[in-house]
Amino acid sequence: MHVAHLCWLQFLRGLPIMADPKILWLEPSKARKTSYAAQVARRRYAVQVVHDQRAACRFAAAQHPSVCVVDVAPAAAVQRVCSALRKAAPKMRIIVVQARAGMEVASGCAEVLLCAPFTIRKLLNSIRQQLPANGGEWVAHGALRLHPAARRLQLRGHEHLLSPKLLRLLEFMLAREGKPVSTTLIVRRVWETEYTSDLNTLHNHINTLRKILEVDPAHPHILRTVRGKGYCLSLNGKAE
C-alpha cells in the first residue's frame, strides 16, 4: 500500500498519526520489494513520499519537514538533490539511503549516509537522532521528569541524556509501571526482534538505567528483577 494511502486510512480509522515531526521521503516511482518508507510510516510518523526533486523541494519549502530521506542514485544525482533541498529548507536534516558502499557525498550534503544493506532498526534510529530536540514537553512520572523529544531525564536534581534505546526501554517500562514484564516481551517490543535467546544487551541496558534511576544500583528498588517474571518498574516502590 502506498504510504500516503496508509496515513489517510489511519486518519479515517481514528488512529493517531504523528503530525509533527513530518518526514519527507524522496524515492523512485518504481516500487521496490522492500518499502522502507512504508515501514517507517507504520511507526506512526507522518511520511510524505514524492518521486522527483521538484516535488520534494516544493513540499520542503511549504511544510518544513524535520527530516528528509533521500533514496536516489547515482551519487551525482544525490548531491544535486541534496543541494536543492538545502536551499528549499535550510534547517531540514537529510538522510541518504540505498547508497553503495564507498560512495562519496560532498561535505554538508547530508547528516547521515546509510550504505546498503542496513536494517530498518538502524534507519529508524538514524531518523530519531535527527529529529529536533527542542520540541515536545516535559512529562512528570512522580519524582521523575522525562523529555522524550530531547531524550532527557531529570531525577533528584540531576539531568541525564538518554540514548535512543534507553529512552525506548524506559518509556516501555513506564507504560507498564507496577507490573512485571518478561524479558522476551521487552526484547520484542524495544529491540523489534524475535531473536530473544541472547539477553546480554537487555541486561546491560537495565544496568545502565539502574545507575540513573537508583540511589543504590546494586540494591534496586525502582527497577527490580522479579524472579521468573522479568523486570518491574515501580516509582512508588509497589508492584503487583
Q: What residue spans define the domains of the chain?
A: 3-130, 139-233
Stretch 18-35: mean pLDDT: 72
Question: Residue 151, Cβ neighbours under 10 Å: how many?
Answer: 20
Are 165 and 223 spatial neighbours (Cβ–Cβ below 8 Å)?
no
Beta strands of the chain (E only): which ranges? 18-26, 45-50, 67-70, 93-99, 112-115, 139-141, 144-147, 152-155, 158-161, 223-226, 230-233
Q: CATH number of 139-233: 1.10.10.10, 1.20.1440.120, 2.40.50.140, 3.40.50.1820?
A: 1.10.10.10
Residue 222 pLDDT: 95
Who has greater pLDDT, 160 or 15? 160
pLDDT tens digits, 27-52: 888 766 667 888 888 876 789 999 99
Question: Residue type at 237?
Answer: G
77-106, pLDDT tens digit by residue? 888 999 999 999 988 989 998 766 555 555
* Band of residue 227 on the pLDDT scale cut at 50, 70, 90: very high
Per residue in 141-178, pLDDT (tens digit) is 889 999 888 888 999 988 898 988 999 999 999 999 99
For range 185-200, the mean pLDDT: 87
The crossing angle, in degrees rounded to 10, of helices 164-174 and 200-213 is 80
Task: List the one residue out of 35, 44, 98 whose CA is nearest residue 71.
Answer: 98
| Confidence class for position 196, pLDDT limits 50, 70, 90 | confident
> What pLDDT was estimated at residue 106?
58
Q: How is residue 55 written as a grid cell?
A: 516535488
Share of the chain above pLDDT 70, in %: 81
Report the C-alpha gap between 27 and 17 in whole angstroms: 22
C-alpha distances out from residue 58 to 55, 86, 94, 125, 186, Å: 5, 12, 16, 27, 41
Instruction: Tell me the CATH number of domain 3-130, given options 3.40.50.2300, 3.30.470.30, 3.40.190.10, 3.40.50.12780.
Output: 3.40.50.2300
